[in-house]
Amino acid sequence: MKETFLLVHSAWLGAWQWNTVKELLVEAGHSVITPDLPGHGENLTPEKEITMQDYVDCIVNLLDQQEESVVLLGHSFNGITVSRVAEVRPNKIKSIVYLAAFLAPAKSSFISMVKGVEGSVAVENFYFSDDQSHALVKASEMHQAFAHDISEEAFAKASSFILPEPAKPLFYELEITDENWGAIPKYYIECTLDKAIPIAIQRAMYNGKVEKIYSLEASHTPNFSQPNKLANILIELVK
């Protein structure tokens, strides 16, 4: 059965991160939408102007163009974004998939959720720019933090597309309800070798909140290291 997937990239990356996964899903007969959120990829909105509402509006505008409901996936930080999108357009979303993502409770933010987290190379090397307009991870640690299971050469090619992460959305406190977001089926794809969101944190976030859990022995970015396995999980999920 043909489905439409709307895949939302992680912080610092863009629609380009899905190139291989998208190709595999399309080959399997599905439709795939991969937006660049404001300030990412080819969307060059100035970072100082970007809020969570801009991210939400970007995705909602795409949802409103679809005749049928979609499978909405959020990777990493943008688990928070897709949760908010699901709250405001529940009728447009068949299910939500969280890929090594923040499956956050109401009124929490990325900043509040990473406080006190231990064992995360990403969190340990996270910092804001001097003007507080964007966030970064120490360049020398990014490979280990996000994609230690691909070669340095492959990561160097990918890292040339990485952009600073706008700061304001990271402080957004999630607004969701049981009536809207809570009523949509949810799935979680955990990454057991993740050095950005350690597996214990992932499991604490999704415990008791999802229909089914899928597991990959992968870093934070299986879209790079295991695109075939990731695509196969998504195909299985909609059978």
pLDDT (tens digit, 9 = 90+) per residue, 190-205? 999 999 999 999 999 9
pLDDT the model gives residue 99: 99
Contacts of 119 (CB under 8 A, 6+ apart): 195, 198, 200
Contacts of 109 (CB under 8 A, 6+ apart): 80, 170, 171, 172, 173, 174
pLDDT the model gives residue 69: 98
Instruction: Measure Cα distances from 52 to 31, 110, 156 in Å.
Output: 26, 12, 29
pLDDT the model gives residue 170: 98
Are residues 79 and 101 in contact, defined by beta-carbon separation less than 8 angstroms?
A: yes
pLDDT the model gives residue 116: 86
CA proximity to 101, closest of 125, 72, 74: 74
Facing residues of 72 across strands? Answer: 6, 96
pLDDT the model gives residue 195: 98
Where in the chain does DSSP place strands (E)?
Answer: 4-8, 31-33, 70-75, 93-99, 126-128, 134-137, 165-166, 186-191, 212-216
**How many whole angstroms separate alpha carbon 52 and alpha carbon 87?**
14
Are residues 232 and 216 in contact, defined by beta-carbon separation less than 8 angstroms?
A: no
Low-confidence stretches of the chain (pLDDT < 50) are none
Facing residues of 187 across strands? Answer: 97, 212
**Type of residue numbered 44:** L
Contacts of 179 (CB under 8 A, 6+ apart): none
Tens of pLDDT, residues 96-131: 999 999 999 999 999 999 998 999 999 999 999 999
Q: Which helix (H) or strand (E) holds 24?
A: helix 19-27
Instruction: Measure Cα distances from 87 to 60, 100, 180 in Å.
Output: 11, 20, 5
Domains of the chain: 4-237 (3.40.50.1820)
The end-to-end CA distance of the chain, in Å, is: 7
pLDDT the model gives residue 155: 97
